[in-house]
Amino acid sequence: MGILEVKNVNKSFGGLKALQNVNLDIEEGKIHAIIGPNGAGKSTLLNCFVGKLVPDTGTVMFDGDSLLGIKPYEINQMGVSRVFQTPEIFSELSVWENTLIPCFAKRDGAFTLNALGNVADNKDVAERAEQMLVDVDLIDKRDMLASSMSRGDKRRLEMAMCLSQNPKLLLLDEPTAGMARADTESTIELLKTIQEKLKITMAIIEHDMGVVFSLAQKISVLAQGTVIVEDLPENIKGHPKVKEAYLGEAQV
Amino acid sequence: MKSISNADMRTLMFVAIITILAPFIMNPFPTESALAQFNAGYPDLMQRFIIFGILAIGFNILFGLTGYLSFGHAAFLGVGSYAAVWMFKLLGYGILPGLVLSVIVAGIFSLLIGFISLRRSGIYFSILTLAFAQMSFALAYSVLTPLTNGETGLQVYADDPQFLQSATAPNVPHLFGMKMNDTFSLNMGPWDFQFNFGYYICAIFMLIAFYLSIRIFRSPFGMMLRAVKTNQTRLNYTGINTRPYTLAAFVISGMYAGLAGGLMASMDPLAGAERMQWTASGEIVLMTILGGTGTLLGPVMGAGFIKYFENIFSKINETVLHGWFAWMPDGLENAIVWVLHLFTGKGWHLTLGILFMAIVIFLPGGLMEGSNRIANWWKRRKGGDNASDATATPAE
């Protein structure tokens, strides 16, 4: 039984069938990579997990509950966090405030009218936020404006924001896209440490095969809206169907 | 635990001292001097500074924190005024029931408008609020005449019931018998300082409003509102439902506007529909931007700035200008007066417009940014002195 179960999901935009009968099973505590050529439907699939898109047919179950028709913030409160392809952070706020906000959201829920309390008085939240910034090595930059950081730092901040909520499932949409080699390496290390330490289930969409094979414990290959192969990493390398999907007609 | 930080306390104290001493500060020129017309220390204008200050503080909670630009805030001001005048008509001239009701009615009204308008953001939100405000204005002007007394404006008549009005109570708005228009004049040599009871009542409400706005700015709620401004997507994926946050901010700022409307009616017990017109809403936006959006002190400064221009610059008509330049040769005098009269008197909007453009272009942070720059320059200058002193001691 996986923590996230996707059954027979179909989604089309007009005449374009983005997803066709997708079945996916993400096991608890594992890093599951979803790979595939451009336009294979990876992002569409991810958007169906977080409530941004609703599949035409099929079911998406998370921890025994259906995710269909549920708003993004409710899904997050259920324990799903998402890291975006381009970091989505509060760029006009400080790094510190960026980290505080998810901690407040985790503690106080989707809405609390705490208009007269002082942010600084919430010691438990501050401790949690500080711990996260130490974990991702951004504690020296806590007073910096988030928009003035490098892309790698922004990514790390976003990851800290997601992890501070202690999610059951972490979705990562190309976490190393556009990163320098050194940043990519450090991100891989960071994700590995987190996974070993916290046993958080992760689903990763990734183009960089180096990243995929150094992280994933299971890989699903998506092509033209369907899962063509789902297997362990060692079996994916050199799999004829995968080669065909990536190289297309050139192979024929 | 401290509810407010030292720096914020200093700001609050600064505002408190300025408001208490305003009758002196606003009145720097002797009554008989030629410059006396630049004095702003008369009760009517000082009340306006304060009331529009409250309005701008409230507006800033919505616009400054969440970035939602409401173009219909004057509607809440108008509704607050009507509510207060109705209390005067029904219960009597004690201002407290009127103020309470004006805040409540404005709160309910803004809940309704906010609930619908906040389904959209950006320009669509602005247009929706503008449409609602204009609807309210049109209704108050025509269909709702029984409630608003149409174009005459709502006022208290001799045959109004005034159930709680005792025979000894004053026949003007009052607080426990002390009249709002009571003014104490202090003559000090050529100066004439006026201390108005209504002004100090407004000032107390403004200080409470300002204190609450500091608390909101520093609260987790305020932080969430600023997060709404910078990235709603991230906030949604962080488990925050943004709608109730923006709605709460909208209602709070609507209640501030209601309080301002109630106070306006308390100073002068009548309410007209023109208070709700879109130009009035636009003025609130101008005040906030001019002073510095999202800063604590900015909106109050902006409100004071605009009200000063409206009341003082508009008084400088051609006759006054001719008086100033009478020492010049006639031709030159006429030429200069002809140029200047475009900018003063009835043309004061032109000066305001030019100043507004200059501030938005060169000081995007408004008057607050300007004063911060001056403060920094001052510090640097002092710091520079220190640095040159430091060179005297050998460096390690």
pLDDT (0 to 100) of residue B100: 95
**Residues within 8 A of A (CB atoms), B 237-256 only:** 237-242, 244-245, 248, 252
Q: Is B231 on the interface with A (CB under 8 A)?
A: yes
pLDDT (0 to 100) of residue B384: 59
**pLDDT over 70 (residue B252):** yes
**pLDDT over 70 (residue B386):** no
Asked whether residue B126 is domain-assigned, the answer is yes
Confidence of residue B219 (pLDDT cuts 50, 70, 90): very high
Q: Copy the structure tokens of residue B165.
A: 């009005």
Q: How far apart are CA B248 and CA A235, in angstroms?
A: 55
Confidence of residue B229 (pLDDT cuts 50, 70, 90): very high
**How much is the pTM?**
0.90
Asked whether residue B1 is domain-assigned, the answer is no
pLDDT (0 to 100) of residue B385: 55
Cβ–Cβ gap A112/B220 under 8 Å: yes
Q: Is A81 on the interface with B (CB under 8 A)?
A: yes
DSSP character string of A214-244: HH-SEEEEEETTEEEEEE-HHHHTT-HHHHH
pLDDT digits (tens, 9 = 90+) for B277-325: 888 999 999 999 999 988 888 999 999 989 888 888 888 888 888 888 8
Asked whether residue B301 is domain-assigned, the answer is no
CA-closest candidate to residue A222, choices A32, A22, A36, A49: A36
pLDDT digits (tens, 9 = 90+) for B162-176: 877 777 778 888 888
What are the CA-CA distances from residue B377 to residues B210, B295, B315, B373 (Å)?
28, 20, 35, 6
By CB neighbour count within 10 A (0-12 exposed, 13-18 middle, 19+ buried), where does B238 fall?
A: buried
| Nearest-by-CA chain B residue for A114 | B221
DSSP character string of A116-167: SS-GGG-HHHHHHHHHHHHHTT-GGGTTSBGGGS-HHHHHHHHHHHHHTT--
Q: Are B223 and A68 in contact (CB under 8 A)?
A: no
pLDDT under 50 in chain A at which residues? 249-252
Confidence of residue B22 (pLDDT cuts 50, 70, 90): confident
Q: Copy the structure tokens of residue A90.
A: 């509060």
pLDDT, greater one: B243 or B327: B243
Q: Which of A23-27, B34-38, B281-285, B383-387 has the lowest mean pLDDT?
A: B383-387
Q: How far apart are CA A98 and CA A95, in angstroms?
A: 5
Q: How far apart are CA A58 and CA A93, in angstroms?
A: 40
pLDDT (0 to 100) of residue B65: 94
**pLDDT over 60 (residue B392):** no
**Residues within 8 A of B (CB atoms), A 153-212 only:** 161, 165
Cα A143 to chain centroid distance, Å, stands at 26
Q: Average pLDDT, whole number, for chain B? A: 87
Q: Copy the structure tokens of residue A147.
A: 């928009």
Mean of pLDDT values over B1-29: 85
List the domain range (segments joined by +) for residue B214. 6-27+40-275
Interface probe for A, chosen from B212, B223, B238, B243 (most Cβ of A below 10 Å), is B238
3-class DSSP state for residue B23? helix
Asked whether residue B70 is domain-assigned, the answer is yes
Q: How far apart are CA A192 and CA A185, in angstroms?
A: 11
CA-closest candidate to residue B205, choices B265, B263, B255: B263
pLDDT (0 to 100) of residue B389: 43
Asked whether residue B309 is domain-assigned, the answer is no
**pLDDT over 80 (residue B47):** yes
Contacts of A159 in chain B (CB under 8 A): none
pLDDT (0 to 100) of residue B341: 83
Strand pairing category for A31-35 and A16-26 = unpaired
**Residues within 8 A of A (CB atoms), B 114-153 only:** none
- What count of residues does chain B have? 396
- Tokens 């109570």 found at: B169
Minimal Cα–Cα distance from A229 to chain B, Å? 30
Q: How many domains does chain B have?
A: 1
Asked whether residue B362 is domain-assigned, the answer is no
**Residues within 8 A of B (CB atoms), A 83-112 only:** 84, 88-93, 97, 100-102, 104-106, 108-112
The minimal CB distance from B239 to the residues A77, A120, A122 is found for A77
**pLDDT over 90 (residue B273):** no
Q: Copy the structure tokens of residue B112.
A: 């309704």
Q: How far apart are CA B124 and CA B116, in angstroms?
A: 11
Mean of pLDDT values over B36-64: 89
Q: Are B253 and B58 in contact (CB under 8 A)?
A: yes
Q: Give percent above pLDDT 70 in chain B.
A: 96
pLDDT (0 to 100) of residue A153: 86
pLDDT (0 to 100) of residue B244: 94
Domain CATH for B269: 1.10.3470
Q: Copy the structure tokens of residue B302.
A: 């902006």
| Nearest-by-CA chain B residue for A122 | B220
Q: What is the CA radius of gyration of chain A?
A: 19
The minimal CB distance from B230 to the residues A82, A90, A115 is found for A90
Q: How far apart are CA A96 and CA B151, in angstroms?
A: 54
pLDDT digits (tens, 9 = 90+) for B56-90: 999 999 999 999 999 999 999 999 999 999 998 88
Q: Is B356 on the interface with A (CB under 8 A)?
A: no
pLDDT digits (tens, 9 = 90+) for A187-229: 888 888 888 888 889 999 987 888 888 888 999 988 888 888 8
Cβ–Cβ gap A115/B233 under 8 Å: no
CA angle A75, B226, B286 (to 5 degrees): 135
What are the CA-CA distances from residue A151 to residues A88, A94, A158, A165 (Å)?
11, 15, 10, 22
The minimal CB distance from B221 to the residues A71, A115, A122 is found for A115
- Complex prediction ipTM: 0.89
Question: What kind and span of H or E run contains B250?
Answer: helix B242-267
Question: What kind and span of H or E run contains B285?
Answer: helix B278-291
pLDDT (0 to 100) of residue B387: 45
Q: How far apart are CA B39 and CA B25, in angstroms?
A: 9
Q: Are B47 and B196 in contact (CB under 8 A)?
A: yes
DSSP character string of B45-80: HHHHHHHHHHHHHHHHIIIIII----S-HHHHHHHH
Contacts of A50 in chain B (CB under 8 A): 237
Confidence of residue B394 (pLDDT cuts 50, 70, 90): very low
Which domains does chain A show, CATH number per domain?
A: 1-79+167-252 (3.40.50.300), 91-166 (no CATH)
Mean of pLDDT values over B14-19: 92
Q: How far apart are CA B42 and CA B27, in angstroms?
A: 8
| Nearest-by-CA chain A residue for B241 | A110
pLDDT (0 to 100) of residue B172: 83
Asked whether residue B285 is domain-assigned, the answer is no
